[in-house]
Amino acid sequence: MTLVSEHIEPDTSERILVVAERLFRQIGYQKTTVADIAKELHMSPANVYRFFDSKRAIHQAVARSLMSEVEVAAQEIAGRQGPAAPRLRELLVTIHRMNSERYVGDAKLHEMVAVAMEESWEVCEAHMLLITEIIGSVIAQGLASGEFQAPDLVLAAKCATTAMMRFFHPQMIAQCATKPGPTVEEMTDFVLAGLGSRSAAV
Amino acid sequence: MTLVSEHIEPDTSERILVVAERLFRQIGYQKTTVADIAKELHMSPANVYRFFDSKRAIHQAVARSLMSEVEVAAQEIAGRQGPAAPRLRELLVTIHRMNSERYVGDAKLHEMVAVAMEESWEVCEAHMLLITEIIGSVIAQGLASGEFQAPDLVLAAKCATTAMMRFFHPQMIAQCATKPGPTVEEMTDFVLAGLGSRSAAV
């Protein structure tokens, strides 16, 4: 029974998250109740509570899952072979594209992001620290190969990530989408120039 | 009479704005009424409406006045003599400091900023375009003197301003104030490096 249960439970919790994410997108985070989620899954609210002890816990898990897709894609790019500059460019543009897809087309998801930033700051912070670390790992490769120049790797990673705020931060992506400003590719070139890359001065 | 009236009216409208700004800070923008402002000034609401046709017009004028103080300080720095790099650094740090003073200590003013960004976007946009232009004018001086390298001045100004979003944007200043990240001086050095300044690589 233990084996079967171990097999079934992750699947059930996964199904809860898929339905929760859909309802958060369709009717908004505030208006979705645990009862709504349970009803869609033809189960009792009590059964949902066996997996997540609150709506906030479901919300955190949905946010974690959206963020970890970006982290996996970022790590895959950072782990590739080849020169650092084009890889850093691809990494920054990919984070922007994935965050835009996740948080911007969807007005209801803004609410979820705002809630995540208020109620689950530690989840957002862990994500941002990991993204900064992944960006730092590509910068480290560029420093090792002589493509980049920067006396302080950790600081360079923080500045490169911060410079991309307009393109990474869900609220800024949404707010700036129709506003004048550089494209993500132009901004990436500026960041590369800031890292002393000779291949890309704006 | 015309002369006297021309002398008095700007003063009255100035007093309305000073009182409005104080009330927006003390009780918030939404809760402040034109009647509250009139009462503080011992005048009738009808008299306030002689100068501003709506609460929104008062709000816009308060926002414009807060922003123009920053613009004047920025223009003063940009207009000075001397090397461009230290001047650009002072300019970026000053914009950050003035925006922080204006919009961050004060929880009630966040509401005013949010309202300005929603209801008076054109006022915010004109401010940002002017700030970008002033930053561009110092970059132009650095390009002329050979301190900076950048093939496209307008793009360089847009990227430098965008890179500072965490330190310029009122909502980002408030949100990031207690979060890990580079200091404004460190970020400024990164921007200078992005402009090809040899005096400041991070």
The pLDDT, as a whole number, for residue A106 is 67
CB A109, CB A103: distance < 8 Å: yes
Nearest to residue A127, comparing CAs of B118, B179, B9, B97?
A: B179
Mean confidence (pLDDT) of chain A: 89
Mean pLDDT for the stretch of residues B23-43: 92
The pLDDT, as a whole number, for residue B114 is 78
Residue A169 at interface with chain B, using a CB cutoff of 8 Å: yes
Residue A117 at interface with chain B, using a CB cutoff of 8 Å: yes
- The distance of B159 to chain A (nearest Cα, Å) reads 6
pLDDT digits (tens, 9 = 90+) for A147-193: 999 999 999 999 999 999 999 998 899 888 888 899 999 999 999 99
Mean pLDDT for the stretch of residues B69-97: 97
Tokens representing B71 are 């613009």
Name the pLDDT band for A112 (thresholds 50, 70, 90).
confident
pLDDT digits (tens, 9 = 90+) for A58-86: 999 998 988 999 999 999 999 999 999 99
pLDDT digits (tens, 9 = 90+) for B190-200: 999 999 987 65
Q: CA–CA separation, A97 vs A69, rounded Å?
A: 12
Contact B202 A162 (CB under 8 A): no
Residue B202 reports pLDDT greater than 80: no
Residue B169 at interface with chain A, using a CB cutoff of 8 Å: yes
Mean confidence (pLDDT) of chain B: 89
Name the pLDDT band for B134 (thresholds 50, 70, 90).
very high
The pLDDT, as a whole number, for residue A199 is 61
Q: Residue B114, Cβ neighbours under 10 Å: how many?
A: 13
Residue A3 reports pLDDT greater than 50: no
Fold (CATH) for B63-194: Tetracycline Repressor; domain 2 (1.10.357)
Tokens representing B176 are 């990031």
DSSP A126: H
Per CB-CB distance under 8 Å, the chain A contacts of B169 are: 172
Per CB-CB distance under 8 Å, the chain B contacts of A92 are: none
Contact A179 B125 (CB under 8 A): yes
For CA atoms A115, A120, A121, A126, the dihedral sign is: negative
Q: Residue B74, Cβ neighbours under 10 Å: how many?
A: 23
The count of CB pairs under 8 A between chains A and B is 96
- The distance of A81 to chain B (nearest Cα, Å) reads 25
Per CB-CB distance under 8 Å, the chain B contacts of A200 are: none
Residue B153 reports pLDDT greater than 90: yes
Residue A103 reports pLDDT greater than 80: no
Residue A9 reports pLDDT greater than 80: no
The pLDDT, as a whole number, for residue A4 is 45
Nearest to residue A117, comparing CAs of A193, A185, A60?
A: A60
Residue B2 reports pLDDT greater than 50: no
DSSP A31: T
Residue B180 at interface with chain A, using a CB cutoff of 8 Å: yes
Q: Give me the residue spans of the domains in chain A.
A: 1-53, 63-194
Percent of chain A whose pLDDT exceeds 90: 67
Residue B137 reports pLDDT greater than 80: yes
Mean pLDDT for the stretch of residues A98-122: 79
Mean pLDDT for the stretch of residues B114-138: 90
The pLDDT, as a whole number, for residue A188 is 97
Contact A158 B172 (CB under 8 A): no
The pLDDT, as a whole number, for residue A25 is 85
Tokens representing B85 are 């790099």
Residue A126 at interface with chain B, using a CB cutoff of 8 Å: no
Residue A135 reports pLDDT greater than 90: yes
Q: CA–CA separation, A75 vs A126, rounded Å?
A: 15
Nearest to residue A162, comparing CAs of B176, B75, B82?
A: B176
Residue B175 at interface with chain A, using a CB cutoff of 8 Å: yes
Per CB-CB distance under 8 Å, the chain A contacts of B153 are: none
Compare B137 and A21 and report the one with higher pLDDT.
Answer: B137
CA distances (Å), B88 to each of A81, B58, B65, B155, B159, in order? 38, 33, 24, 16, 14
CB B40, CB B23: distance < 8 Å: yes
Domain A1-53 superfamily per CATH: Homeodomain-like (1.10.10.60)
CA distances (Å), B31 to each of A9, A93, B66, B107, in order? 50, 43, 20, 14
Residue A37 reports pLDDT greater than 50: yes
Per CB-CB distance under 8 Å, the chain B contacts of A151 are: 201-202
Residue B160 at interface with chain A, using a CB cutoff of 8 Å: yes
Mean pLDDT for the stretch of residues B112-139: 89
Torsion on CA atoms B154, B172, B104, B11, rounded to nearest 10? 40
Residue A186 at interface with chain B, using a CB cutoff of 8 Å: yes
Q: CA–CA separation, A90 vs B169, rounded Å?
A: 26
Residue B1 reports pLDDT greater than 60: no
CB A96, CB A184: distance < 8 Å: yes
Q: CA–CA separation, B79 vs A27, rounded Å?
A: 53
Mean pLDDT for the stretch of residues A101-116: 76
The pLDDT, as a whole number, for residue B176 is 87
Contact A181 B158 (CB under 8 A): yes
The pLDDT, as a whole number, for residue B4 is 44
pLDDT digits (tens, 9 = 90+) for A138-148: 999 999 999 99
- The distance of A196 to chain B (nearest Cα, Å) reads 7
Compare B44 and B109 and report the one with higher pLDDT.
Answer: B44
Name the pLDDT band for A109 (thresholds 50, 70, 90).
confident
Tokens representing A147 are 């493509």
- The distance of A54 to chain B (nearest Cα, Å) reads 26
Residue B201 reports pLDDT greater than 50: no
